[in-house]
């Protein structure tokens, strides 16, 4: 091995040092160009800038897309949803028949040419909650007509050609019941004797002579005006007024006279079916105490627009404070003084039924002019007073009863429950989409022939439809009557807070006795319907 000399080492060392210094400078240059310590920050900054640019571009694109979505109008958005649903259903073609437009709501036509529509606020509210589109355009394709005025003249052409699914809240001929003088002179149960002027003036004078203690009020045929007058001061030749006996001994609560408003629904005329709203009734009290009686002080005995509401009557306030309804409060008060309110409500039911039974033939004659008699129903408020002997007197029937709570806000709940029960009873709250309404399968889903059958132990042995016991059996039922009792079946199932007045409710023991003598003169259809309810009652007491 060759041995290096120190001089050589020194020389090499010096040379290395010089090279090292130059190489150091070159190394710095290399490191700078190859990502060394001085180049790394610049590269990192460039990378971060690139990332920020990408994120910013993404945010801009998202903002642009959001803005574009916001600019889509509702029709485009609904179309997009509909197309999406259709694409989902492409693998199940049979489901296409159930794809219905989201905006195809049932339509309510409100027709009230003479009344401020703000008084129908609760009508609008209840129908809106049930999903109805509401219009005032009588040329529209409507499903339900809510008329405040009598519509059968102004809307005659459309009402004579109704589709089966269309419903109208008025009955042709309702004036037979709701016209004051017509009701007063109908001779119905519980109606105080009344005399039409000038035709009945001789009868009036004779009645006054036989009943010298009788007092009378003069009423306008069309308006609310009531005047307390002695016979000698009544114009017996007037054609605008009628005279009715005044009930001078009314039952008083906290010293006030009152009337009772019962909301009544007629769903069919031939055969006749009547219901009442049983959830509550409207009580209105005279503003001033009845005694000492002063005929010139009208607020003592005539109930006006500013009546005393039930919740302000001293004897009833404790019940109102405990959230009891008007009828419950009244019944509880009577029981607290040892009286039974049931007799009052029995008289009310019989009085209402007697009014319609006395006019049923007149109603039926008018209904026969219309294409479909099952399009119509009507709610009427019957007003009663009770005397101190607990006898009920029917005074008035209101064609379009007040349903506005503007004057008395606490009445809002009563009105909305009345409306909802009415619409449930007549099937409007359970709406079927028009394409399905004439469908037999859909109709059977609601009520089929098997649901209306009665007395199987009798019918399986029937071979003669002339026998009364066979007339409700399937081979003997006529198509028109089947439609009637299917409608009655649906009403019973949908009645909510409504209860049947006619055919009258019964016990199973009463149902076994057949048709009561008081109804022996009913029409053939009414007799058959009565017997159907009796037969259903015997099968299940919920029908009683």
- Summarize pLDDT for 358-382 with one digit per residue, the tens: 999 999 999 999 989 999 999 999 9
Name the one residue in this structure whose structure tokens are 């299917």.
486
Helix 412-425 to helix 479-494 angle (10° resolution) is: 150
Q: Is the pLDDT of residue 13 over 60?
A: no
Q: What is the dihedral of CA 385, 249, 338, 347, to 10 degrees?
A: -40
SS3 state of residue 71: helix
Lookup: tokens for 459:
């019918």
**Range 311-316 average pLDDT:** 98
SS3 state of residue 185: coil
Element (H, E) at 50: helix 40-71
Q: Tell me if 274 sits within 8 A of 356, measured CB to CB.
A: yes
Q: Tell me if 256 sits within 8 A of 344, measured CB to CB.
A: no
Spacing of C-alpha 415 from chain mean position: 9
User: Which residues are CB-contacts of 64 (< 8 A; sequence separation ≥ 6)?
Assistant: none
Q: Is the pLDDT of residue 420 over 80?
A: yes
Give bridge partners of residue 108 from the DSSP assignment.
Answer: 134, 144
Residue positions counted in the chain: 544
User: Which residues are CB-contacts of 302 (< 8 A; sequence separation ≥ 6)?
Assistant: 226, 286
Q: How confident is the model at residue 430 (pLDDT cuts 50, 70, 90)?
A: confident
Q: Is the pLDDT of residue 478 over 80?
A: yes
- pLDDT given for residue 64 in this prediction: 59
d(CA 463, CA 453): 16
Q: Is the pLDDT of residue 101 over 60?
A: no
The Cα diameter of the chain in Å comes to 169
**Range 215-237 average pLDDT:** 85
Please state, as a whole number, how many other Cβ atoms lie within 10 Å of the Cβ of residue 147: 22
Q: Which residue has the higher pLDDT, 249 or 87?
A: 249
Q: How confident is the model at residue 37 (pLDDT cuts 50, 70, 90)?
A: very low
Give Cα separations from 435 to 99, 106, 165, 440, 447 (angstroms): 12, 12, 11, 12, 18
**Range 492-503 average pLDDT:** 97
- pLDDT given for residue 24 in this prediction: 39
Report domain extents, the chain.
Answer: 175-425, 439-543
d(CA 491, CA 267): 8
Q: Which of 115, 116, 134, 114 is nearest to 124 (CA)?
A: 134
pLDDT in tens, 180-211: 999 998 888 999 999 999 999 999 999 999 99
Burial class from Cβ neighbours inside 10 Å (0-12, 13-18, 19+) for residue 119 reads middle
- pLDDT given for residue 60 in this prediction: 59
Q: Is the pLDDT of residue 442 over 90?
A: no
Average pLDDT across the chain, whole number: 85
SS (HEC) of 251-264 = CCECCECEEEEEEE
- pLDDT given for residue 225 in this prediction: 75
Q: How confident is the model at residue 30 (pLDDT cuts 50, 70, 90)?
A: very low
User: Which residues are CB-contacts of 472 (< 8 A; sequence separation ≥ 6)?
Assistant: 454, 455, 459, 528, 531, 532, 535
- pLDDT given for residue 270 in this prediction: 92
**Range 496-503 average pLDDT:** 98
d(CA 486, CA 480): 10
∠ CA(125), CA(129), CA(132), 5° rounding?
90
pLDDT in tens, 114-147: 777 788 999 999 999 999 999 999 888 899 999 9
pTM over 0.85: no
Q: How confident is the model at residue 41 (pLDDT cuts 50, 70, 90)?
A: low
SS3 state of residue 367: helix
Highest averaged pLDDT of the listed ranges 62-71, 425-434, 475-484 = 475-484
The CATH number given to 175-425 is 3.30.470.20
Q: Is the pLDDT of residue 347 over 70?
A: yes
Of the listed ranges 99-103, 294-298, 312-316, the one predicted with least confidence: 99-103
Highest averaged pLDDT of the listed ranges 83-97, 157-171, 432-446 = 157-171
- pLDDT given for residue 436 in this prediction: 53
């Amino acid at each position: 091995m060759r041995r290096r000399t120190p001089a050589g080492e020194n020389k090499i060392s010096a040379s290395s040092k010089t090279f090292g210094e130059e190489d150091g400078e070159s190394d710095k240059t290399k490191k700078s160009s190859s990502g060394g310590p001085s180049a790394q920050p610049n590269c990192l900054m460039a990378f971060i800038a690139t990332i920020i640019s990408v994120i910013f571009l993404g945010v801009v694109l998202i903002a642009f897309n959001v803005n574009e979505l916001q600019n889509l109008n509702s029709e485009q958005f609904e179309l997009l949803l509909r197309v999406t649903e259709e694409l989902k259903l492409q693998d199940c073609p049979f489901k296409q028949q159930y794809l219905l437009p989201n905006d195809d709501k049932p339509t309510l036509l409100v027709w009230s040419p003479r009344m401020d529509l703000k008084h129908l606020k609760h009508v609008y509210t209840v129908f809106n909650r049930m999903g109805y589109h509401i219009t005032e355009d009588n040329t529209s394709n409507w499903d339900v007509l809510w008329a405040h005025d009598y519509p059968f003249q102004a809307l005659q052409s459309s009402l004579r050609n109704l589709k089966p699914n269309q419903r109208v809240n008025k009955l042709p001929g309702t004036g037979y019941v709701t016209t004051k003088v017509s009701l007063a002179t109908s001779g119905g149960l519980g109606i105080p004797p009344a005399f039409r002027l000038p035709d009945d003036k001789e009868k009036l004078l004779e009645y006054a002579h036989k009943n010298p203690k009788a007092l009378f009020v003069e009423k306008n045929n069309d308006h609310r005006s009531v005047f307390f007058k002695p016979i000698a001061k009544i114009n017996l030749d007037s054609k605008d007024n009628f005279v009715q006996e005044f009930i001078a001994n009314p039952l008083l609560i906290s010293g006030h006279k009152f009337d009772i408003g019962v909301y009544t629904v007629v769903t069919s005329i031939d055969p006749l079916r009547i219901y009442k709203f049983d959830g509550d009734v409207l009580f209105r009290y005279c503003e001033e105490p009845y005694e000492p009686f002063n005929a010139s002080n009208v607020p003592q005995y005539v109930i006006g627009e500013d009546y005393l509401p039930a919740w302000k009557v001293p004897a009833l306030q404790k019940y109102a404070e405990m959230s009891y309804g008007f009828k419950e409060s009244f019944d509880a008060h009577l029981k607290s003084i040892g009286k039974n309110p049931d007799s009052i409500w029995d008289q009310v039911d019989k009085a209402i039924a007697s009014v319609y039974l006395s006019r049923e033939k007149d109603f039926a004659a008018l209904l026969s002019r219309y294409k479909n008699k099952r399009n119509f129903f009507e709610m009427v408020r019957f007003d009663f007073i009770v005397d101190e002997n607990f006898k009920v007197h029917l005074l008035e029937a209101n064609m379009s009863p007040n349903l506005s709570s503007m004057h008395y806000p606490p009445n809002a709940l009563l009105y909305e429950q009345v409306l909802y029960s009415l619409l449930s009873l007549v099937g409007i709250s359970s709406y079927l989409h028009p394409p399905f309404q004439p469908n037999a399968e859909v109709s059977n889903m609601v009520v089929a022939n098997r649901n209306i059958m009665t007395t199987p132990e009798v019918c399986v042995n029937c071979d003669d439809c002339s026998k009364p016991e066979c007339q409700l059996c399937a081979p003997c039922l006529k198509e028109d009557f089947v439609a009637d009792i299917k409608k009655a079946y649906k009403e019973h199932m949908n009645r909510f807070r409504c209860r049947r007045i006619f055919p009258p409710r019964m016990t199973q023991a009463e149902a076994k006795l057949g048709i009561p003598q008081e109804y022996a003169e009913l029409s053939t259809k009414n007799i058959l319907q009565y017997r159907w309810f009796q037969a259903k009652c015997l099968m299940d007491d919920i029908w009683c």
